[in-house]
Homo-oligomer: A and B are copies of this chain.
Amino acid sequence: MSYYIEPLSLLVEQLAKLPGIGGKTAQRLAYHILTLPKEQARALADAIASASEKVRFCRICGNMTDQEVCSICTDPTRDSQMICVVRDARDIMSMERARIYRGLYHVLGGTLSPMDGIGPDQLRIKELLSRLDGVKEVVLATNPDVEGEATAVYLFRLLQPMGIRVSRIAHGVPVGGDLEYTDDVTLQKAMEGRREMV
């Protein structure tokens, strides 16, 4: 496209590779970046390079960290008898943001999906099994979709015979949600998971 100058078309091309950023948005972002003061554009570029450079995965739980072991695994105030199993590291952030859980985490790095060639060996299940010493409860917090459920059932069957309490996070109508707009499967889960009021 001759009406694009080289550095601009390169930038648009790079931005358009990001998820959810189409051609038009990439173009708009690129123009915005070009109108930024040089030091602000440089700060953005540096943040990308430095995050990609420094962030790695916790040797124990698989969380994102800039250390060898993440700040949750090294926190002595956290309950080491509980492990919450999640699909990926960003799920940990969501849980932590809600401030409702004080145990440890374990990142699977995906969910079982035979169609995509992801079996138990592709997930960090071996690493989970090696951490179970002294653990009383494993909370399965994979997503409530087909793969997440299958993974939860697989882990339940694996862990239960080892005498560990295995739980699954509750699924139901979200707080602030509306029955009218809730899908059937969620309603079914909400009904199945109903609890007696006291």
Contact = CB atoms under 8 A, between A and B. Distances in A.
A65 to B, nearest CB: 6
Given A30-B51, A32-B19, A14 B64 contact: no
Contacts of A66: 5-7
Interface string A19-61: 1110001011111111010101111111111111111000000
A11 B47 contact: yes
A7 to B, nearest CB: 4
Oligomer copy total: 2
Contacts of A198: none
Given A48-B45, A52-B42, A34 B2 contact: no
Contact of A5 (B3, B38, B65): B65
A84 interface: no
B48 A52 contact: no
A10 interface: yes
A195 interface: no
B19 A64 contact: no
Contact of A42 (B11, B33, B49): B49
A107 interface: no
27 contacts: A2-B71, A3-B92, A3-B97, A4-B93, A5-B55, A5-B65, A5-B70, A6-B66, A7-B47, A7-B53, A7-B66, A10-B50, A11-B51, A14-B43, A14-B47, A18-B29, A18-B44, A27-B90, A27-B93, A31-B89, A31-B90, A34-B51, A38-B52, A38-B53, A44-B48, A45-B46, A45-B48
Q: Which 7 interchain pairs have the tightest Cβ spacing?
A: A41-B52, A3-B96, A45-B49, A14-B47, A11-B51, A45-B48, A7-B51
